[in-house]
Structure formats: C-alpha cells, structure tokens
A and B are shown apart, each in its own frame.
Chain A
C-alpha cells in the first residue's frame, strides 16, 4: 500500500470513529445542560423596565390605597403571595428574616385571595410586609406577568424592575442573589 493510501485510510477511520463520538458528546452536552434548566422559569420581559403602575386597596385596611408611586425613591421588594399558596408558606420564614434585617421594605401583593383568609394567614404566621395590596381579581398580577405564586420583584429607586424571582425565595437565593442585588441597588 502506498503512503498516500494509508493516509486516506486513516482519515476514513478518523471520521468513522470520531464523528459519531463527536455527535454523541454534543448530544450529552445539550442533554446535560437541559437538566439544569427549568422550563417553568420563563424569562420576564419586565426586567429593566419600569414596574407597571397600579393602585389597590390595602389588605388589612380596605380604606387605604397603596400605589406604586408611594415607593418612589426607595428600593423595595414586591412579593406576590396568597393564603392558598403552599410554597408561600415555605417562603414565609425567609421573608420574616429579611424584614427583620431592615435592608429593604417588603410590600405584599395578595393575589387572588379572600380578604379574610389573607389577613388570617398573616396573623398566624407573622407579617413580613410593610403592607399588602389586595389584588383579588389578579389584574395587577397580570400586569406584572405573574403566573406562578410566589413571585418576587426587586424594584429600584426609579421604579424599574431589576430582579425577579419566580417561586420560593430560599435562604440560598436570599443570601446569594437577593441580598447582593439589594445592596447594589441601595448603593446606586
């Protein structure tokens, strides 16, 4: 066999064995990546956009109105919750802890709830909120693109949404994502 033929033969073997291996590794990469992606976490188009304007009666005091403008000039957290939401209960102690730290005011958006049930939940578990706005029709929720309670929005001094957490704020999310973000926005 000539030298030239040997070379084409080895190129053929190379393709025959390495090409499927390459394809396989590519597949492994994408599947592996897929494992750590959560299809439930839909990226919000509202990040870095002004928070939707709204005015709602407060949960505990229906006579009083809360509007987004009340928080202008402050970094604040809007936490969407409901008495019927199981995950909110798990998140609740973390919110209580955050409110004790006093680094950020937390406003609740009581979403598609009954007023009595909402108030009772806060009386029983403790109230981490500066106040809760009562959104029983869920219209403000729709404006914020809420689809899975709990959801939390961190809003900066200019009323722009800077961070959104879909689902539970775990202690880990609090210390690794939320607190650093709060500090950063408070400094700005």
Chain B
C-alpha cells in the first residue's frame, strides 16, 4: 500500500516534470528550428512597434497581437521576403506608426529638423545678445559719458 503510494507520487511528479518539459519545449521550439532565421526575426522585430503596448517593440512584447505579428514576420522571412518587403508589408497595414524610426517625409520634417532649428535659433539669440552687450557702452552720447566721468570724479559727500 505504502509502496504503491510512493510509486503514485513519483509517477505524478514525473508527469509534472514531463508536462513542464512539454510546455518549455513548446515555447522554445521555433528557436530550435533555425537559429539564423530566429536571429533575423529578432533583429527585424526590434525595429517594429507593438501597437497594443505602444512603447514596446514587437520583439519585446508578449501581447497576443505582437506574437502573431512575430510569427507573420518569421513566415514572410522564411518564404524569402527581404527585410524591406516585410517592413513594407507592416507599414501597408499599420502605417508609419509601426516603425520605431519614422521615415523622413513632409509630415515628419518638423520632427526630424525641429531640434536643429531650435538649436540654430538659440545660437542666433546668443549671438545677438553678445553683440548687443558688446556695443552697450557705445550707446551713451559724449555728453552722458562726460557727466558720468564728472560724477565719478566728485567725492560722494559734495555731490549736488
């Protein structure tokens, strides 16, 4: 009786291990299939945005849609599509938003060049400021300069 109990427990444990093994194997299977392809899928999906959790890449996200899209990318690459073709496939469905690196076009000019414009503006402002500081003393008329010199020359107590 006791022996059969132990056997039963051992069997249950073994079954549990086997179950876990199956689950792990299921999860890891695609990597085992073709490590080169898997690496390719990884690098490509790192450039694509997950639309459900918007600040994650498709590579990072575990959202069901991200997993579907990763499978889709794997499928297309396995069928000989180029990176650009896969990216175009994604953009055709989800728009530029799916790209982590937005393309340079008219609607994104401000995004790409705005910071440089701001920097240029800052430099221009700085230059202008420095220049006006340079010429500040020149703004005084000779009469005013004379008056300032007089004031400085006069001892404070005898002033006025």
A-contact 0/1 string along B46-83, CB 8 Å cutoff: 00000110100000000011001100100000000000
Q: Inside 8 A of A186's CB, which chain B residues have their CB?
A: none
Q: For residue B153, give the distance in angstroms from its CB to the closest CB of chain A.
A: 22
Residue A116, interface by CB 8 Å = no
Interface size class of A (residues with CB under 8 A): 10 to 19
Q: How many A-B residue pairs have CB under 8 A?
A: 39
Q: Output the nearest chain A residue to B50 by Cβ-Cβ distance.
A: A147
Stretch at the interface among A43-51, A57-65, A117-125: A43-51
Q: Is the CB of A45 within 8 A of B93?
A: yes
For the residues of A in contact with B, the DSSP-based class is loop
Q: Inside 8 A of B52's CB, which chain A residues have their CB?
A: 147-148
Q: How far is B139's CA from A5's CA once the two chains are assembled, in angstroms?
A: 8
Q: Output the nearest chain A residue to B141 by Cβ-Cβ distance.
A: A2
Given A142-B69, A147-B52, do A42 and B95 touch, yes or no (CB 8 Å)? yes
Q: How far is B91's CA from A112's CA once the two chains are assembled, in angstroms?
A: 22
Q: Which A residues fall within an 8 A CB radius of B?
A: 2, 5, 8, 39-40, 42-46, 112, 137-138, 142-145, 147-148
Instruction: Identify 5 residue pairs between A and B in the complex whose beta-carbon atoms are under 8 Å apart, listed by A's number.
Output: A5-B139, A39-B54, A42-B51, A43-B95, A142-B72
Give 4 nearest A-B pairs by CB, closest first.
Answer: A147-B51, A145-B93, A45-B95, A42-B97
